[in-house]
């Protein structure tokens, strides 16, 4: 279980000491096929943050007359999502936007995203923050006008995270005749290896390099507030920038139906909020209203649950030794073997390839490790909350465990599988996997998924 810390007193104190957070400005420059940009955030006129990012394209973009206003608008919006990583250090009650103008509807949209995206942050810091008054936002910068354009090509940008889900999206679209372009933020072992395993190269890949201002890391070290922020929402705005620069219209994410399930049952707290259909719907509405309606941001795997995705992934063996879903081991390109993500991936892979095969991929017999019991109970629904990780639904895991038990001889039954057998009577009857019809796929895209499931 992820530990909680009582930081309510610190929250109240820091808000009094640092009442104002300012999004001062943004800047950008273009050189060849590289766009560099940065932001200035100021805390109480005392502490300044200057994070920077760049995006490198497979080719030099063909800039049209109205591309610069569009690029400026999107960079401004990226600053709106980047600022939350710095604001959360003090949770200042007032955010002042000088870098651009937001109307009242936009301000409400951002407040909703911040509040929902910080649900885990508030919960694990034991902070009692109300939706109505956790922040006030004022805006008095220049107006960024929405533009109208029809320059897009029917090609696909596919963000690659190094896990199984983006592999499935990449393979299915590529193998069904779609022109695909991988996108990687801060390339590392598994993301690079995934692109190479697909037969594409890094020269075909859109690369985003994003840095954290070290001043924030210093504040974290000094005990300022810290925690989870909506990373996928940030990635969403970065993909719009990539789409605008390349003219590739479709942005195909790999978020599945399970991302809609609350981490804490019966609450609105969801580790995966910015991967949920609610965020996807709200984001599509936002960019259509205030940036450019021609983008097509959607999750290709939204109709599927984890079992259906793994049934497809289990056949893509050329990726099995290169994919990684472990956050702990991401920097070293390894499976740590001691986290909910490693255990969840092991369970799902075992359901289709057997526990011995999954042991070899993860590097250890996860279902025979007694120290994984707490994570196992959270994943299966024997605990009050799920892990604060991007994992499948309770139903996904329960169905996978039943499949493992059916496929495994009794004499070889893993320790945690025996635990599931002993406790299964406490669980509600789980449902059979079905197609989720709350999505933004067109008929052709749905046909690709349906064929893959046969």
Query: What is the pLDDT confidence band of residue 295, given thresholds at 50, 70 and 90?
Result: very high
Q: What pLDDT score was predicted for residue 257?
A: 83
Q: Which has more pLDDT, 299 or 269?
A: 299
Contact 54, 211 (CB under 8 A): no
> Do residue 279 and residue 366 come from a single domain?
no
Please give the full DSSP string across 74-97, using - where no structure is assigned: HHHHHHHHHHHHHHTTTT-SEEEE
As given in the structure block, the two tokens for residue 49 are 């943050």
Residue 100 lies in a domain: yes
> Do residue 275 and residue 366 come from a single domain?
no
> Do residue 257 and residue 193 come from a single domain?
yes
Q: What pLDDT score was predicted for residue 223?
A: 92
Residue 442 lies in a domain: no
Nearest to 385 by CA among 278, 270, 307: 270
pLDDT over 70 (residue 64): no
Percent of the chain with pLDDT over 70: 97
Query: What is the pLDDT confidence band of residue 328, given thresholds at 50, 70 and 90?
Result: confident
> Do residue 246 and residue 107 come from a single domain?
yes
Query: What is the pLDDT confidence band of residue 65, given thresholds at 50, 70 and 90?
Result: low
Structural domain ending residue among the three candidates 241, 266, 299: 299
pLDDT over 90 (residue 105): yes
Q: How many Å apart are CA 452 and CA 164, to the nearest integer?
A: 15
Q: How many Å apart are CA 376 and CA 416, to the nearest integer?
A: 8
Q: What is the pLDDT of residues 345-381, one digit of tens each?
A: 999 999 999 999 999 999 999 999 999 999 999 999 9
Q: Which of 231-235, 297-301, 384-388 comes out lowest in average pLDDT?
A: 384-388
> Do residue 213 and residue 333 come from a single domain?
no
Q: How many domains does the chain have?
A: 2
pLDDT over 90 (residue 92): yes
Q: What pLDDT score was predicted for residue 210?
A: 97
Helix (H, G, I), strand (E, B) or coil at 22: strand
Residue 319 lies in a domain: no
pTM: 0.94
> Do residue 399 and residue 283 come from a single domain?
no
Q: How many Å apart are CA 182 and CA 190, to the nearest integer?
A: 13
Phi, psi (deg, nearest 5) at residue 100: -175, 170
Q: Which has more pLDDT, 432 or 284?
A: 284
CB-neighbour burial class of residue 58 (10 A; exposed 0-12, middle 13-18, buried 19+): middle
Q: Which has more pLDDT, 171 or 429?
A: 171
As given in the structure block, the two tokens for residue 339 are 């986290």
Residue 307 lies in a domain: no
Q: What pLDDT score was predicted for residue 1?
A: 57
What residues pair up with 180 in beta bridges, in sequence order?
A: 156
Structural domain range at position 371: 324-426
Q: Which has more pLDDT, 145 or 358?
A: 358
Residue 313 lies in a domain: no
Highest mean pLDDT out of 10-24, 133-147, 371-385, 418-432: 10-24
As given in the structure block, the two tokens for residue 206 are 């859109």
pLDDT averaged over every residue in the chain: 92
C-alpha count within 13 angstroms, C-beta hemisphere, residue 364: 14
> Do residue 255 and residue 334 come from a single domain?
no
> Do residue 290 and residue 337 come from a single domain?
no
Q: What pLDDT score was predicted for residue 433?
A: 66
> Do residue 373 and residue 417 come from a single domain?
yes
> Do residue 288 and residue 400 come from a single domain?
no
Percent of the chain with pLDDT over 90: 77
Contact 55, 62 (CB under 8 A): no
How many angstroms separate the Cα of 276 from the Cα of each of 223, 237, 271?
31, 15, 10
Q: What is the pLDDT of residues 411-431, one digit of tens each?
A: 889 999 999 999 988 877 766
Contact 220, 270 (CB under 8 A): no
């Amino acid at each position: 279980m992820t530990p909680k810390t009582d930081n309510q007193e610190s929250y109240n104190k820091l808000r009094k000491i640092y009442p104002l957070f300012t999004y001062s400005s943004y800047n950008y420059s273009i050189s060849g096929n590289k766009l560099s940009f940065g932001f200035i955030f100021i805390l109480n006129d005392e502490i300044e943050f200057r994070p920077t990012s760049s995006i490198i394209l497979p080719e030099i973009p063909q800039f049209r007359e109205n591309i610069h206003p569009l690029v400026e608008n999107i960079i401004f919006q990226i600053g709106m999502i980047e600022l939350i990583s710095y604001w959360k250090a003090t949770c200042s009650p007032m955010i002042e936007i000088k870098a651009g103008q937001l109307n009242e509807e936009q301000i409400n949209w951002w407040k909703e995203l911040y509040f929902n995206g910080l649900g885990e942050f508030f919960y694990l810091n034991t902070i009692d923050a109300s939706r109505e008054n956790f922040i006030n936002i004022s805006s008095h910068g220049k107006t960024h006008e929405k533009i109208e354009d029809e320059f897009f090509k029917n090609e696909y940008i596919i963000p690659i995270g190094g896990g199984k889900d983006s592999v499935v999206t990449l393979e299915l679209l590529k193998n069904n005749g779609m022109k695909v372009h991988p996108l990687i933020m801060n390339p590392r072992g598994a993301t690079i290896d995934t692109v190479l395993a697909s037969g594409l190269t890094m020269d075909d890949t859109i690369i985003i390099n994003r840095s954290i201002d070290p001043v924030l890391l210093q504040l974290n070290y000094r005990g300022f507030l810290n925690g989870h922020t909506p990373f996928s929402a940030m990635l969403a705005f970065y993909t719009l920038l990539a789409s605008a620069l390349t003219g590739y219209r479709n942005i195909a994410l790999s978020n599945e139906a399970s991302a809609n399930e609350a981490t804490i049952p019966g609450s609105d707290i969801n580790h995966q909020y910015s991967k949920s259909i609610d965020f996807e719907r709200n984001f599509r509405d936002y960019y259509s209203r205030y940036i450019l309606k021609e983008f097509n941001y959607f999750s290709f795997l939204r109709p599927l649950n984890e079992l259906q995705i793994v049934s497809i992934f289990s056949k893509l063996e050329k990726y099995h030794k290169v994919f990684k879903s472990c956050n702990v081991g991401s920097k070293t390109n390894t499976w740590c073997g001691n986290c909910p993500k490693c255990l969840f991936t092991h369970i799902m892979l075992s359901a289709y390839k057997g526990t011995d095969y999954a042991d070899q991929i993860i590097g250890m017999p996860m279902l025979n490790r007694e120290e994984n019991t707490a994570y196992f109970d959270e994943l299966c629904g024997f605990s009050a909350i799920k892990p604060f990780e991007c994992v499948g639904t309770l139903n996904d895991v329960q169905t996978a465990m039943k499949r493992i038990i059916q496929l495994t001889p009794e004499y070889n039954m893993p320790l945690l599988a025996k635990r599931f057998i002993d406790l299964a009577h406490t669980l509600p009857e789980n449902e059979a996997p079905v197609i989720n019809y709350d999505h933004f796929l067109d008929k052709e895209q749905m046909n690709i998924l349906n064929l893959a499931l046969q």
